[in-house]
Amino acid sequence: MTDAPMTAHAATATAGQVLSGYLTGQAGAFLRALPQAVGEAGARPGAVPSVNSPGGTASTGELLRAVRRIGGALHTFGALLDPAWAQQSRSELRWLLNLLAQEPGYLRRTARLLAALDSLSSTASPGESRGPGMLAGHQGAPKARALLERQLTLARTRAHSVVLQELRSARLHALADRMTLLVGETPLVESAMGRAGEVLLPQASAAFTALGAAVQRLPLSRATVAYQGDALHRLGTAGSVPAQVPAQVPAQPRPVADADSALATDDAPWQRVRILVKRARYALEVCGRPVAELDALNEVLDRHQDATEAAVTVATAARTPRITPATAYVLGVVHADQRLEVESARYAFGRQWPTLPQHGWQEWASA
Amino acid sequence: MTDAPMTAHAATATAGQVLSGYLTGQAGAFLRALPQAVGEAGARPGAVPSVNSPGGTASTGELLRAVRRIGGALHTFGALLDPAWAQQSRSELRWLLNLLAQEPGYLRRTARLLAALDSLSSTASPGESRGPGMLAGHQGAPKARALLERQLTLARTRAHSVVLQELRSARLHALADRMTLLVGETPLVESAMGRAGEVLLPQASAAFTALGAAVQRLPLSRATVAYQGDALHRLGTAGSVPAQVPAQVPAQPRPVADADSALATDDAPWQRVRILVKRARYALEVCGRPVAELDALNEVLDRHQDATEAAVTVATAARTPRITPATAYVLGVVHADQRLEVESARYAFGRQWPTLPQHGWQEWASA
């Protein structure tokens, strides 16, 4: 896949040429992946893709990849585009992102939580099996595993039904038409006629500045101290979605989803930084200047996100009526384990962030 | 308190003079603290010392301090002492140590677990209170707190009764007589006539060598990686007491104690190192060469020990019949939190160990 970097012709190309080159490439990827994703989703109407053969995720993954990149570019370089068109496009892309991301998200969460459960309960040597904690674990672990698997499978099945329904909707067809338009002609405004280096780099720079400002507001100095316990020290992790984080409105009622989309206040600034890291990544892709350190930060924050959501799922499962105390106990351990993953991701971020070449890339503008 | 270091007269004193000087000082401390400890224990027959006014722990602490030091010196410098007398003395000192350490141990554990519970459940801002995890926490935290406090108070009360009974026993009187003998005349053998520097330092060196060998067997390279999850990854923490750890035989049946004295196999090598650190500390005290880094390691391993025992207490409490799932869930979180403290202590040890001047002190022998 070509991301149409401006490296070769940066000196002579206009900003509009570089931006529309990038958007054309991504819209093409979108249009290639869409029918495959629709076909694969329809081919498994029962929709219980297992963790081992997730089915359909390859083309859904391609589709999500393009959706994120187009949305990011439309945000960062919005000043070069017809405002109404860009805003509507972003809104529709966000809708599709939220729709498509659910099912793979549940798959990842299932794999994460079952792996955590197995890891937590498998270290017993035969001679240890009579200890009190181990006994509680032995009693509760299989039940907790079955409970989480059942609830996540149900949530995933419902998410799949919604996807099936929406993939044939007029709304998706309209979005596909928008992407087709993008391949042919990007609706640019006059400022896009400026030189690529002079127009695009300051806007990518603004994306970086926004990221840096958000990171300044993180408790980074605490996060870089191992075992400070900040992420764990909350028995509950869910709250109302803070205003500054784009709210994800679920298309249908989902059993686990109310909790899933809720973020702890504590987590919100990190979630915000995750979005800004992705935007900065895509902005530098448009400029043909990928920064490997941003990819690493992105991975760490994806892990942070997955672990926060998994912790909420576990806390929600613990409220299931009529579970045994042994099951609840194991869920408490798993909840803490996921919050520890959150803390671990913050620690990793705090150590990686200073390695990011935060200003060096701007010097390329003068090259 | 004078620890009778050999610094001043090391060049001329015999090993026996230095060792008996140290033992005399510690035995004097023992004999001063004993009647106070007995009186204070008897003055609170109901025996529910609160965490805030622990009562009696000052003189019990002094007593424990002397008991540990005398026992350590008798072990490390046993070759200089009448073997039968040294062995019997160590055995009786270990009995008193196990007897006296229970009550302050339960007090520390109560303080530790209630603080953890409060810290885990107090971070909710008012706006967050409706999240699912928070709700489970709100329901379970007060009950879990009451349950742990009740069980630990019961255990502490029983330990106190045992102390009250044994403090007036013939066995304790016989031990006090032994300590009185120590103040007057330490039963030395002929090899104690050698020069202090030439006799004591090699034996202190052997204590250091044993410590270094035990540390070599620790998974230190893993422990120094933050968030590797080793200590947490066991739903249960208790097993049979491994053979190499001195078994603590409880004098009376105790409700929490069966679990308390059980150590996870995983924890045993660390527990072993804790004992060896204490022995090395006391050996260097005898030689008048205290090493501050050893004090720091000792503190870290005491924290490790307290956290492992607290985790077992929580796992045991989770098996209490008829607790609610919400209570059990909170206990699971607290259990994981204590195992995280274990991991944190190992991490701290792994970073502090290389700072220990492991060979430098031996050079003093030639000074």
User: Which residues in chain B have their CB less than 8 angstroms from residue A136's CB?
Assistant: 235-236, 315, 318-319
Nearest Cβ partner of B336 from A131, A134, A333? A333
The pLDDT of residue A70 = 98
Q: Chain B residues with CB inside 8 Å of A137's CB?
A: 234-236
- pLDDT digits over A266-319, tens only? 899 999 999 999 999 999 999 998 889 999 999 999 999 999 999 999 999 999
pLDDT at B137 over 70: no
The span from the CA of A289 to the CA of B71, in Å, is 68
Please report the pLDDT score of residue A152 as a whole number.
97
What pLDDT score does A58 carry?
85
Interchain contact, B133 vs A237, CB within 8 Å: yes
Q: Is B92 left (phi over 0), alpha (psi -120 to 50) or beta?
A: alpha
In whole angstroms, what is the distance from residue A230 CA to residue B231 CA? 18
Give the least confident one: A174-178, B65-69, B116-120, B200-204. B116-120
Q: Do A332 and B329 touch (CB under 8 A)?
A: yes
**pLDDT value at B13 more than 60:** yes
pLDDT at B281 over 60: yes
Residue in chain B lying closest to A335 (CA): B333
ipTM score: 0.82
Closest partner residue to B235 among A133, A315, A319, by Cβ? Answer: A133
Could you give the CA distance from residue A259 to residue A240 in angstroms, rounded to a whole number? 9
Residue A358's pLDDT is: 63
Mean pLDDT of chain A: 82
Q: Is the pLDDT of residue A363 over 70?
A: no
pLDDT at B5 over 80: no
Q: Which of A235, A308, A340, A344 to mutate to test the interface with B (most CBs of B within 10 A)?
A: A235
Measured between beta carbons, which residues in chain B are less than 8 angstroms from residue A265?
125, 127-128
Residue B176: name the closest of B31, B25, B70 by CA: B31
Q: Which residues of B touch A138 (CB under 8 A)?
A: 236
Q: Compare CB distances from B133 to A123, A238, A329 and report the shortest one's residue.
A: A238
Residue B98 has which token pair? Answer: 């196990």
Distance of alpha carbon B99 from alpha carbon A4, whole angstroms: 76
pLDDT tens digits along B35-90: 988 888 877 654 455 444 444 568 899 999 999 999 999 999 999 999 999 999 99
Regarding predicted confidence, which is higher, B240 or A10? A10
Percentage of residues in chain A having pLDDT higher than 90: 64
Residue A361 makes CB contacts below 8 A (sequence gap 6+) with A208, A284, A289, A291
pLDDT, average across residues A6-16:
71
**A138-162 pLDDT tens trace:** 678 999 999 999 999 999 999 999 9
Of B232, B259, B330, the CB nearest to A340: B232
Provide the pLDDT for residue A249: 38
At A268, which CATH number?
Answer: 1.40.20.10
CA distance B101 to chain A (A): 23
Q: Would the CB atoms of B325 and A330 count as touching at under 8 Å? A: no
Q: Taking residues A238-250, what's their average pLDDT? A: 35
* Cβ contact B325–A324 (<8 Å): yes
Q: Do residues B80 and B188 lie in contact, with contact meaning Cβ atoms separated by under 8 Å? A: yes
| A330 min Cα distance to partner chain B (Å) | 6
Residues shown for chain A = 367
Indicate the burial class of B2 (C-beta count within 10 angstroms; 0-12, 13-18, 19 or more): exposed
* A144: nearest CA partner in chain B: B329
| Residue A104, domain member (yes or no) | yes
- Is A257 a residue whose pLDDT tops 80? no
pTM of the model as a whole: 0.84
Residue A238: pLDDT over 90 = no
- Residues B238-263 have a mean pLDDT of 36
Which one of B235, B335, B338, B339 makes the best mutation probe of the A interface by having the most chain A beta carbons within 10 Å?
B235
pLDDT tier, B252 (very low <50, low <70, confident <90, very high otherwise): very low
Report the gap between the CA of B261 and the closest CA in chain A (Å): 11
- Which among B128, B234, B324 has CB closest to A239? B128
Q: Is A205 within a domain?
A: yes
Residues of A within 8 A of B262 (CB-CB) are 131-132
Whether A56 is covered by a domain: the verdict is yes
Distance from C-alpha of A170 to C-alpha of A176, rounded to nearest angstrom: 10
As a whole number, the mean pLDDT across chain B is: 82
CB contact under 8 A, A236 and B329: no
What is d(CA B340, CA B33) in angstroms, rounded to the nearest whole number? 36
Other Cβ atoms less than 10 A from the Cβ of B349: the count is: 24
Distance (Å, whole) CA A35 – CA A284: 29
Higher pLDDT, A73 or A262: A73
What is the DSSP secondary-structure string of A187-208?
-B-GGGGSBHHHHHHHHHHHHH
The structural domain count of chain B equals 1
pLDDT beyond 70 at A104: yes
> What's the pLDDT band for A37 if we cut at 50, 70, 90?
confident
pLDDT given at position B361: 56
Q: How confident is the model at residue B136 (pLDDT cuts 50, 70, 90)?
A: low
Least confident span in A12-26, A294-308, B58-72, B349-363:
B349-363
**Are A340 and B335 in contact (CB < 8 Å)?**
no
A132:B312 CB<8 A: yes
Q: CA-CA distance, A318 to A257, in Å (whole number)?
A: 15
Domain that holds residue A117: 15-123+131-358
Query: pLDDT value at position B264?
Result: 58
Residue from the list A127, A265, A325 with its beta carbon closest to the beta carbon of B128: A265
pLDDT band at A136 (very low <50, low <70, confident <90, very high): low
Question: Using a CB-CB distance cutoff of 8 angstroms, which residues of chain B are in contact with residue A134?
Answer: 234-239
Q: How far apart are alpha carbons B8 and B344 in whole angstroms?
A: 40
- Chains A and B form CB pairs within 8 A to the count of 238
- CA–CA gap between residue A19 and residue B173 (Å, rounded): 91
| Separation CA A113–CA A123 (nearest Å) | 16
Least-confidence region, from A227-241, B78-92, B265-279, B344-358: A227-241
Mean pLDDT for the stretch of residues B212-218: 95
Report yes or no on B188 lying in a domain.
yes
Asked whether residue A47 carries a pLDDT value surpassing 50, the answer given is no
Cβ(B140)–Cβ(B329) under 8 Å? yes
Give A-chain residues touching B331 at CB under 8 angstroms: 329, 332
- Report pLDDT digits (tens) over A314-359: 999 999 999 999 999 999 999 999 999 999 999 999 999 998 876 5
- Tell whether B313 is covered by a domain: yes
Least confident of B21-30, B60-69, B245-254, B272-281: B245-254
Residue A246 has pLDDT above 60, yes or no: no
Segment B3-8 shows an average pLDDT of 48
pLDDT surpassing 80 at residue B198: yes
Is residue A137 within 8 A of residue A121, CB to CB? The reply is yes
Q: Do B239 and A130 touch (CB under 8 A)?
A: yes
Give pLDDT, residue B31: 96
**Confidence band of B337 (pLDDT split at 50, 70, 90):** very high
- Two tokens, residue A244: 């500054």
* Binary contact (B133, A318; C-beta < 8 A): yes
What does the CA dihedral B249, B250, B254, B255 come to, rounded to 10 degrees?
A: -20
Interval B329-343 mean pLDDT: 94
pLDDT of residue A172: 96
Q: DSSP characters for B13-51? A: SBHHHHHHHHHHHHHHHHHHHHHHHHHHHHT-SS----S
Residue A12: its pLDDT value, please?
82
B323 vs A325: CB contact, 8 Å cut-off? yes
Q: Which of A240, A267, A329 to mutate to test the interface with B (most CBs of B within 10 A)?
A: A329
Smallest Cβ distance to B238: which of A133, A334, A337?
Answer: A133
Chain B interface test: which of A254, A266, A333, A349 (most B C-beta within 10 Å):
A333
The pLDDT of A25-53, averaged and rounded, is 76
Summarize pLDDT for A74-93 with one digit per residue, the tens. Answer: 999 999 999 999 999 999 99
State the distance between the two ends of chain B, measured CA to CA, in whole angstroms: 26
Q: Tokens 């490439």 — which residue?
A: A25
Residue B124 with chain A: CB contacts under 8 Å: 234, 236
**With 90 as the cut, is the pLDDT of residue A45 above it?**
no
Taking CA atoms, what residue in A is nearest to B335?
A333
